[in-house]
Amino acid sequence: MGRPSSRRRAQADALLHGTARLAAVGAGLLVVLMVLFLALEAAPVLHATGPLRFLTDRGWYPTQGRFNLGPMLVGTTLAAAGALFLAGPLGLLSAVFCCFYAPPRLAALYRRMLELLAGTPSVVFGLWGLVVLVPLINRLHPPGASLLAAILILALMVLPTLALTVEAGLRAVPTEYLQAAAALGLSRWTTVSQVALPAARPALIAGVILATGRALGETMAVLMVCGNVVQVPRGLFDPVRTLTANIALEMAYAQGSHRAALFVSGLALAAAIVFFVLAAEFAERRTRHV
Amino acid sequence: MPAAFGTRSLPRGLFRLRALPLLTAAILGALTGCAPTHSEGGAQANATPTASSGGRLTLTGSSTVAPLAAEIGKRFEQQHDGVRVDVQTGGSSRGIADARQGLAAIGMVSRNLKPDEQDLRAFPVARDGICVIVHRDNLVRSLADAQLVEIYTGKKRNWKEVGGREGPITVVHKAEGRSTLELFLQYFRLENPDVRAQVIIGDNEQGIKTVAGNPRALGYVSIGAAEYQVTQGVPIRLLPVGGVEASTENVQNEKFPLSRSLNLVTRTEPEGLVKTFLDFAGSPEVRDLVEKQYFVPVADGQTE
Amino acid sequence: MSRKDHGMRKRIMPAEHAEGRGRSGPTLRRPAAVPYGQARQLRDGGEPSAVLLNRAFRADRLAAVVVWGAAGLVAGVFAWLLAAVAFQGAARLSLAFLTTPPADAGRSGGIGPILVSTLLILGVAMVSSVAVGAPAAVFLAEFSHAGTRSGRWVRRSLDVLAGMPSIVFGLFGNALFCKLLGLRFSILAGGLTLACMVLPLFIRLAEEGLRAVPTEYRQAAAALSLSPTTTLFRILLPAALPALAAGLVLGIGRALAETAALVFTSGYVDRMPESLHDSGRALSVHIYDLSMNVSGGDGGACASALVLIGLLLALNGGTAWLTTHWRRKTYRV
């Protein structure tokens, strides 16, 4: 290889670096563009009423100029938190099952099933929830369409995202670790809990963040089972409305300041997610120091 | 895990933000570059579609009207060579907005035009009634208007109080902005903030499925859809409103008090292809299509 | 080391290494099941405490039961869901259903044009999200140290993007692609909107995959004075391929399942598309319309859902096959 070739190689490297950086920044800019778009659409009503009224108004009656988003923020948070509370352990165990417990054939089958579950349209989840789950809960405690139903459906929907991400992380744990664990005679569960899972921590965190994003942003399925009443729930059986359901339910029929107020819901959601992402990052940094 | 190759050996500054506007411009340019430049794309609309054979007609708006409009469009395409009718949904408010801005030649609106929408022209294609439904196992056979008001405002919360079995009433209500809701509130002289609902729904089918799955639910939905589901064995029952039996017949002969018209709207006096289409959509030729979507045909030849 | 375990044919080190990791399960199982107590005894260097042994044994057994139970629960719920859909939809399925256009607003007829539109939308989404996502993941994993500010910001904003509700993507895509860029309701606009949506998921998984490639590979490559480009294409990307494929598969799944984002971008027209600039209804939109908007559409909706699940199976299988195929080819060189 002569000199010119090595220069061309350096150019190729520079090009690669440039392309990668551009793509990354471009992808990052998408969210800026989106928030900008939301803000632009929400501006009229924010300008007219001021942001505070979205927390202090009496109820959400946008056609009457009452825009309280507070209960929906609570609903969104509760539904997402509940879903994660359920899907977290189950997803983790599913991933562990795939990597360490199931025979290879079964593991492949199970992984395929998780992929299918991840790709099942939310409408199908919603439909199943509406026709099967809600009547069941209704028998337990009316009206059936409730926070509990939303949590269950959401948990089912975020579980595959979480499980597959963690599973990919577990599979990437260096073989040496596991062999060392085996050499020490550690039991399977000890290996999983003390060696593999800590080694796969970045994937775990990524999975939780992705799953939370999905839980916060899921629209159609939640809308079909959560009851959609704008209120702060007093129990698991009370109906709630999430911010996303609010947008999906009313956007098609909203005009003027009502429409703009729905974009404020979108902005509020974006803010909630930003808050969560920062909190997760903070928590991660804290645990890393320990 | 820090990258073992990369940053240090490469001229980093070069790829910093300076290149960013360039990239954005390039991407946007590439995207617009591949936007359709052929003239057939003139479809969109404000370009007045001409009566000449060929051309594209875009309808946007109400999801209630969309399936019907799509069926009408298909038949229209068969009769007019080279014409394409594209139906897009997105809700009544979108129909209004798009028709106003000229983004669509025709908007679809599932309600009567409001006072501040009189700049548009409306052409009814069908009528639709709204009925109150309960579960089939419910003993209640009818509810007086006053009782309904009391239930919806939360003054009566148990079926026993209105002649049914003991058990809490699950009040099913529609989401803000829906024309069905507006009509319902208007008829019963209710204010939305006074309504105490246990479940709030979006589309008709959601309402029907909710009531079918809950023996103690009470809701209101489109008559045509409810009637059809009853014939399919779905366990719901239609209750009369104001003493009038809920049936498509009674909507047609205008006895039924709770009904709305499904409209196509245009910004200007229609001409050319738009006019041909609107005339077709309002003609008896599409009567069977309207009935197949479980709506009620408008009286023949009647426009606004 | 792993040759002894798996009796694998000899290959260049990275492939063997990576595959060994993929199959680490069985390696682990054998020693763990029986000789555990003895090992512990040796390590503790004394007489085996029966209590200790017993407790550890029981804990391991309990963990196994819990793991299997959780997996069974998830599988059970999924089977329930699938059975409910299959029960309603199976009757409508036939070859004709896959090829004929829908009739009577979807109550009868098939889903031919919708299937074609769906695949086109998916193609556009996949190509554009990989085109942007793969380099972006490379940047995040290889060019930006964990603490780099630009990397951190990009990662943060992608996390936020992942949580945006799909309907917001729909409205955004409608404003940007359909109106601003003049693509109107089209398969292209729908695909690009989906790409925006899939991007965070894909980048995250691809980045994780690249990061998981052992540092030794990079060091070995550096020692051989391979250029970064060569290292990336010859070593890192092939090694991270399973993760990239997993990201793609999850992305495909999410894209296929999307309703709200597509109603506003690729539209509602159920005619056979003639080009990418035509509006085309996606399967998930069709399912939503049939189940929520068209009375008597449940059968068609469930049949369409079954088709969609089948499609997903085929795509996932195809991706898996391509991955192994490509890897084998890459390593033979």
pLDDT over 70 percentage in chain B: 80
pLDDT at C30 exceeding the cut of 80 = no
Mutate one of C88, C235, C265, C268 to test the B interface: name it (highest B CB count within 10 A): C268
- Terminal Cα-to-Cα distance of chain C (whole angstroms): 24
Q: B90, C271: Cβ pair inside 8 Å?
A: no
Q: ∠ CA B82-B85-B89 to the nearest 5 degrees? A: 165
Distance from the Cα of residue A125 to its chain's centroid: 16
Short-list A237, A174, A176, A172, CA closest to A206: A172
Residue pair A48/A257 in contact (Cβ under 8 Å)? The answer is yes
| Strand pairing report for B217-222 and C108-109 | unpaired
Residue pair B173/A228 in contact (Cβ under 8 Å)? The answer is no
Q: B202, C263: Cβ pair inside 8 Å?
A: no
Chain A partners (3+ C-beta pairs within 8 A): B, C
pLDDT at A239: 92
The beta strand positions in chain B, using DSSP E, are: 55-61, 83-89, 106-109, 121-135, 170-174, 199-201, 217-222, 236-239, 259-266, 296-297
Query: Which residue in A26, A138, A250 is closest to B175 by CB distance?
Result: A250
pLDDT over 90 percentage in chain A: 31
Give B169→chain A minimum CA distance, Å: 9
Residue pair C277/B103 in contact (Cβ under 8 Å)? The answer is no
Higher local confidence (pLDDT), A110 or A5? A110
DSSP states along C237-295: HHHHHHHHHHHHHHHHHHHHH--HHHHTTT-S--SPPSSTTS----HHHHHHHHHHTST
Alpha carbon separation from B40 to B36, B37, B56, B83 (Å, rounded) = 9, 8, 8, 11
DSSP state, residue A167: H
Q: Residue type for C127, please? A: V
Residue pair A196/A222 in contact (Cβ under 8 Å)? The answer is no
Higher local confidence (pLDDT), B122 or C147? B122
Residues 6+ apart with CB under 8 A from C19: C2, C6, C8
- C-alpha–C-alpha distance, residues B76 and B89, integer Å: 19
Residue pair B162/B140 in contact (Cβ under 8 Å)? The answer is yes
* Residue C332 banded pLDDT, cuts 50, 70, 90: low
Give A66→chain C minimum CA distance, Å: 22
pLDDT at B25 exceeding the cut of 50 = no
Short-list B113, B63, B88, B97, CA closest to B222: B63
Which two structure tokens, joined as six digits, stand for A23?
Answer: 């793509």
CB burial of residue A47 (10 Å; 0-12, 13-18, 19+): exposed
* Residue A273 banded pLDDT, cuts 50, 70, 90: confident
Strand partners, B221: B131
Which two structure tokens, joined as six digits, stand for A279?
Answer: 């909190």
Residue pair A245/B206 in contact (Cβ under 8 Å)? The answer is no
Residue pair A179/C27 in contact (Cβ under 8 Å)? The answer is yes
Query: What is the crossing angle of helices A201-217 and A147-171, to 10°?
Result: 150
Residue pair A161/C257 in contact (Cβ under 8 Å)? The answer is no
pLDDT at C119: 92
Say if B2 is an interface residue toward chain C (CB within 8 Å).
yes
Q: A229, B199: Cβ pair inside 8 Å?
A: yes
pLDDT at A5: 67
pLDDT at C256: 82
Short-list C106, A234, A223, CA closest to B207: A223
Short-list B66, B69, B67, CA closest to B90: B66
Interface contacts A/B by beta carbons within 8 Å:
125
Alpha-carbon torsion (C78, C84, C89, C94), positive or negative: positive
pLDDT at C210 exceeding the cut of 60 = yes
Q: B202, A64: Cβ pair inside 8 Å?
A: no
A222: nearest CA in chain C? C165
- C-alpha–C-alpha distance, residues C30 and B71, integer Å: 64
Give A64→chain C minimum CA distance, Å: 24
Query: Which residue in A29, A64, A253 is closest to B93 by CB distance?
Result: A253
Which two structure tokens, joined as six digits, stand for B72?
Answer: 């009408």
Give C272→chain A minimum CA distance, Å: 22
pLDDT at B299 exceeding the cut of 90 = no
pLDDT at A217: 84
Please name the residue ranges forming H helices in A184-242: 188-190, 197-199, 201-217, 220-225
Alpha carbon separation from A280 to A212, A285, C238 (Å, rounded) = 10, 9, 31
* Residue B16 banded pLDDT, cuts 50, 70, 90: very low
DSSP state, residue B189: T
pLDDT over 90 percentage in chain C: 20
Q: C135, A22: Cβ pair inside 8 Å?
A: yes
- C-alpha–C-alpha distance, residues C138 and C208, integer Å: 10
* Range from A77-81, C11-15, C313-317 that averages highest in pLDDT: A77-81
User: Each residue of A45-87: pLDDT tens digit?
Assistant: 888 888 888 888 888 888 888 899 999 999 999 999 999 999 9
Neighbouring C-beta atoms of residue A68, cutoff 10 Å? 18
Query: What is the crossing angle of helices A256-289 and A70-96, to 10°?
Result: 40
Short-list A26, A218, B253, CA closest to C195: A26
Say if B228 is an interface residue toward chain C (CB within 8 Å).
yes
Cβ contacts (< 8 Å) between A276 and chain C: which residues? 163
Query: Which residue in C81, C138, C172 is closest to A37 by CB distance?
Result: C172
Short-list B134, B169, B149, B125, CA closest to B300: B125
User: Each residue of B207-263: pLDDT tens digit?
Assistant: 999 999 999 999 999 998 899 899 988 999 999 998 899 988 889 888 898 888 899
- C-alpha–C-alpha distance, residues A10 and A13, integer Å: 5
User: Each residue of B101-138: pLDDT tens digit?
Assistant: 888 899 999 888 888 888 999 999 999 889 999 999 99
For chain A, what is the mean pLDDT? 87
* Residue A219 banded pLDDT, cuts 50, 70, 90: confident
pLDDT at C8 exceeding the cut of 70 = no
- C-alpha–C-alpha distance, residues B295 and B301, integer Å: 17
Query: Which residue in C148, C182, C292 is closest to B203 by CB distance?
Result: C292
pLDDT at B43 exceeding the cut of 80 = no
Chain C partners (3+ C-beta pairs within 8 A): A, B
pLDDT at B6: 38
Short-list C193, C194, C209, C277, CA closest to C243: C209
Alpha-carbon torsion (A165, A166, A168, A173), positive or negative: positive
Cβ contacts (< 8 Å) between A119 and chain C: which residues? 252-254, 256-257, 308-309, 312, 316
Long-range contacts of A47-56 (CB under 8 A, 24+ apart): A48/A257, A54/A261, A54/A264, A54/A268
* Residue B304 banded pLDDT, cuts 50, 70, 90: very low
Q: A101, C68: Cβ pair inside 8 Å?
A: yes
pLDDT at C204 exceeding the cut of 50 = yes
* Residue B31 banded pLDDT, cuts 50, 70, 90: very low
Buried b (16+ CB within 10 A) or exposed e, A7-29: eebbeebbebbbbbbbbbbbbbb
Give the three-class secondary structure for A234. coil
pLDDT at B36: 42
Q: C32, A182: Cβ pair inside 8 Å?
A: yes
HSE-CB for B66 with a 13 A CA cutoff: 29
pLDDT at A3: 54
Number of residues in chain B:
304
For chain C, what is the mean pLDDT? 79
Q: C269, B232: Cβ pair inside 8 Å?
A: no
Short-list C154, A224, C210, A220, CA closest to B1: C210
- C-alpha–C-alpha distance, residues B193 and B197, integer Å: 10
- C-alpha–C-alpha distance, residues A17 and C231, integer Å: 13
What is the arithmetic mean of pLDDT over C233-251? 83
pLDDT at B137: 92
User: Each residue of A127-146: pLDDT tens digit?
Assistant: 899 888 999 999 888 788 89
Alpha carbon separation from A240 to A230, B13, B177, B195, C286 (Å, rounded) = 6, 50, 19, 16, 27
Neighbouring C-beta atoms of residue B159, cutoff 10 Å? 22
DSSP state, residue B269: -
Give the three-class secondary structure for C140. helix
Mutate one of B5, B199, B203 to test the A interface: name it (highest A CB count within 10 A): B199
User: Each residue of A162-202: pLDDT tens digit?
Assistant: 998 899 889 888 888 999 999 998 888 989 999 999 988 88
Residues 6+ apart with CB under 8 A from B296: B126, B127, B128, B129, B224, B248, B251, B252, B259, B290
Q: A61, B192: Cβ pair inside 8 Å?
A: yes
User: Each residue of A81-123: pLDDT tens digit?
Assistant: 999 999 999 999 999 999 999 999 999 899 889 988 887 888 8
pTM over 0.95: no
Higher local confidence (pLDDT), C98 or B45? C98
Q: In what helix (H) or strand (E) does residue C102 lie, and over which residues does it extend?
A: strand C102-103
pLDDT at C247 exceeding the cut of 60 = yes
Alpha carbon separation from C2 to A188, B91, C11, C214 (Å, rounded) = 19, 61, 12, 16
Cβ contacts (< 8 Å) between B209 and chain A: which residues? 130-131
User: Each residue of C58-106: pLDDT tens digit?
Assistant: 888 999 999 999 999 999 999 999 998 899 888 888 888 988 888 888 8
Residue pair A210/C55 in contact (Cβ under 8 Å)? The answer is no
Q: Write the ipTM.
A: 0.85
Q: B1, C289: Cβ pair inside 8 Å?
A: no
Number of H helices and number of E strands within chain A?
14, 2
What is the arithmetic mean of pLDDT over C141-152? 77
